[in-house]
Structure 1
Amino acid sequence: MPEMWEREVTGVILVGGKSRRMGQDKAFLPVSGRPLFEGVLELFRAQFSRILLVGDREERFADYGLPILADQFPGSSLGGLYTGLSQAPSPYVFVASCDLAYPSAQVLKKICTLREGHDAVVPRTAHGFEPLFALYAKSCLNPIKEQLKRGEFCAYAYYPQLKIRYLAGEELSRLDPAGTAFVNLNTPEEYARIAK
């Protein structure tokens, strides 16, 4: 059953990647007996009553019975975030890429509970920001749009303009002790390690 934030948060899954480095559609690579995408979708269905898919891939995802939005700014995850955020009926979206191997319900829930008073809630690990498993408010739209119009596609370059709540350090490690919540697959070598 969706949690208390379900009326305020729409789940947005980015499905527009070209999988160039993988050489095949990574959204449908099997991990733990199911396609990567379906693992993310199962998590979202347990948390959100509204889910949007963003990407020019309608033919691949039509069978899931979810709204599929074409990118307003094609070619980047930031453009996908902008599209989902601009079209969502709720004041917030929780965005995830479709290629997460082990998306964490605990991390997702914690992020959603921290939303009040912030423009975004973003995990930050030793490797940097995790902008594609994070929550964003409608107040992010203008800074994102201005950046996209300049042809800048960095997924977090606009963060200094906003009030961001970071989930980091011990607070994050308690929720994700194995450090696997943000593992995504981009290359055959990464997939081979996970498949083992």
Structure 2
Amino acid sequence: MQNLTVAILAGGKSSRMGQNKALLPLGTMKIIEHLVTNLRPIASELLLVANTDEYAFLNLPVYRDRFPGQGPLAGIETALRVAFNEKVYITACDLPLLPAEIPRFLAENTEDYDVTVLAYKGKIEPLIGIYRKSIYPVVEKHLILRKNKIIDFYPQVKVKIINFEQLPENLQREEFLLNVNTPADYEKLLKIFSLKE
């Protein structure tokens, strides 16, 4: 898509997994390589936010958090600060099955909203969302105040929530939202992936 930055946040500690989940193998590639492959077609700019050099093999720009240790909101701050485009799709590094059509749908339906996020079963998914670069000062202020929960700044901006059921029917597959946080999640992912091959 024209004028869309895709930012993959890969700065987490993977504490529940016990190792870097983004680098776990999935078929012939690593989990993060699947994300990059899936999302590249919709990105006019593709970048990573990470606090490690482990992703050099992807040949993508990697930016470090300015507020390390303050969670995914710090990753959003970094992405909005460095992004070239006004619209920035923010995603986590552990969603390898999410098709590009979902962020494309969000981006096409942002209208004049500052944040457009997906919600599933009534729960907002802040790391499946389009964020406008113009809200950067709000995000930065929250981090300075150490208010690290992403949705805490939502009341200060214009937010559009798109429910999972509002996606086109072919995108309403629960497996697309599988987060790989634990060894059990990884086992589930491997099973789903083997069925797709």
Instruction: Judge same fold: TM > 0.5, yes or no.
Output: yes
Q: CA deviation at 1:18?
A: 1.3
Residue equivalent to 1:40: 35
Which consecutive aligned stretches of 4+ in structure 1 deviate over 6 angstroms post-superposition?
Answer: none
Q: In the alignment, is residue 191 of structure 1 matched against residue 164 of structure 2?
A: no
Residue equivalent to 1:100: 95
Select which of 80, 85, 93 maps to 2:80. Answer: 85
TM-score by length of 2: 0.90
**Matched residue SS, 1:167:** strand
CA distance in 2, matches of 1:27, 1:172: 26
Q: Deviations over 1:24-70 (max 9, x none)?
A: 11001123442110111012211112111111112x11122111111
Q: Deviations over 1:126-163 (max 9, x none)?
A: 15111111100023212211211111211211111111
Distance 1:48 1:179, change over 3 A: same
CA distance in 1, matches of 2:136, 2:103: 21
Residue equivalent to 1:29: 24
CA distance in 2, matches of 1:29, 1:158: 32
Structure 1 vs Structure 2: percent identity of aligned residues? 32
Select which of 98, 104, 107 maps to 1:109. Answer: 104
Structure 2 counterparts to residues 111-190 of structure 1, below 5 A = 111-172=106-167, 174-190=169-185
Q: Where do 5+ consecutive residues of structure 1 fail to align? A: none
**Matched residue SS, 1:21:** coil
What is the Cα-based RMSD across aligned positions, in Å? 1.6
Q: Is the 8 A contact 2:118 2:164 kept in 1?
A: no
**Matched residue SS, 1:195:** helix
Q: In the alignment, is residue 70 of structure 1 matched against residue 64 of structure 2?
A: yes
CA distance in 1, matches of 2:189, 2:122: 19
Q: CA deviation at 1:92?
A: 1.5
Q: Is the 8 A contact 2:48 2:63 kept in 1?
A: yes
Q: Is the 8 A contact 1:107 1:175 kept in 2?
A: no
Count the aligned residue pairs. 190
Q: CA deviation at 1:180?
A: 2.2
CA distance in 2, matches of 1:139, 1:69: 19
**Matched residue SS, 1:139:** helix
Distance 1:165 1:49, change over 3 A: same
CA distance in 2, matches of 1:127, 1:34: 33
Name the stretch that deviates more: 118-127 or 174-183.
174-183
- Counterpart residue identity of residue 158, structure 1: F
Residue equivalent to 2:14: 19
**Matched residue SS, 1:41:** helix
